[in-house]
Amino acid sequence: MHLLSSQARYRRRWERHAEVVQHRGSAINQAAVAHVIYDHLRQLGEGHPSLERDIGSSPSRGLKDIISRALTGKVLSNRTLRWFTDAFDMSEADIDALRALRAGNHPARVQIVRPAQITTETPGSRARYQTVSLHEFHVVGPDGLPAWHRTFHVVRAIDELRSYRYRFDTSAASVDVVRGGTAGPLSRTGDDGIYAVDINFHEPVAPGATESFEYRTVLHYTEAPPPEFRRAAVNPIENVTIDVQFDAELLPTRVWWAEWDDLHASRPVHQEPVTLRQDGCVHRHVDDLQGIVGFRWEFPAGRIRRPRDA
């Protein structure tokens, strides 16, 4: 439930109760979150024992226990998930993320690769595959820095396929394989500034068969990167969707959809202005992508904060 601390509009909801529960510090306060859920359920008039009060208008111990188990990753039922998404008025993208996490493997099987574990890339599988569908969801935090990134990926095997090599352009990242496989070590590739993680599938994918998997990249920048998100496709990708979500506390003044002719090129060869939606998101779907595309943006002058500590 990192969304409750990383997204300003969700955080503000439970921070309203911070004084009531004598909250101090930046961590999520479970009692304050329980107050938000309790107020929402009371407004709906849902008849559930968890709505019974301890004293006055405070959440009951039963409700506090349910919230605690959800926030610590022990138990998150469909009903409790709905309480969170409705009480915090979550966006569809965030709801999808929480549903995917809940539908994934047991938390002990979710593989996390930390930046400190970088090794030198070893030759991977030469098996061929085709990306059938790709959905990229990129989140920019209230400090103007990339916060995290989620990818839904579907591939079709041409040869027998045992793994997928996920390549990216920063070592300041932690990769969580949410569903569909496990992660190998973070490694340097032969390309300057490019790193990779092999996502190993639970079972080999037979030629002609498809495999879907999901991974999340948490970003830990100590220096502000260029204000852009790019997706490169050497071979054609049938369906690509790219969403970039900005925090309500720091919205860009201008956004462009852009195309580049080289990964290391700083200036695009083509760009066109894009209108930011009311929810602070930009969206683009591309059929048969081959090349380098993505979004660029500008923030108000002087609004970018100091990068987060590593």
Q: Per mean pLDDT, which of 10-24, 75-89, 150-164 is the most reliable?
A: 150-164
What's the confidence (pLDDT) of residue 98?
Answer: 67
For 271-291, what is the mean pLDDT? 93
Residue 76: CB atoms within 10 Å: 18
Kindly report the pTM of this predicted structure. Answer: 0.59
What's the confidence (pLDDT) of residue 157?
Answer: 92
**Percent of residues, the chain, with pLDDT higher than 70:** 73
Residue 210: CB atoms within 10 Å: 15
Task: Check pLDDT > 50 for residue 52.
Answer: no
What's the confidence (pLDDT) of residue 116?
Answer: 39
Under the banding of pLDDT at 50, 70 and 90, the label for residue 285 is very high
What's the confidence (pLDDT) of residue 59?
Answer: 67
Question: Could you read off the pLDDT of 128-175 as tens digits, one per residue?
Answer: 888 999 999 999 988 898 888 899 999 999 989 999 998 877 666 778
Distance CA(263)–CA(234), nearest Å, equals: 11
Distance CA(18)–CA(66), nearest Å, equals: 19
Contact 204, 265 (CB under 8 A): no
Question: Could you read off the pLDDT of 106-130 as tens digits, one per residue?
Answer: 333 333 333 334 344 445 444 588 8
Distance CA(192)–CA(288), nearest Å, equals: 27
Question: Could you read off the pLDDT of 190-229 as tens digits, one per residue?
Answer: 766 677 889 999 999 999 999 999 998 887 777 788 999 9
User: Which residues are CB-contacts of 38 (< 8 A; sequence separation ≥ 6)?
Assistant: 51, 57, 58, 59, 63
What's the confidence (pLDDT) of residue 71?
Answer: 78
The amino acid sitting at 142 is: P
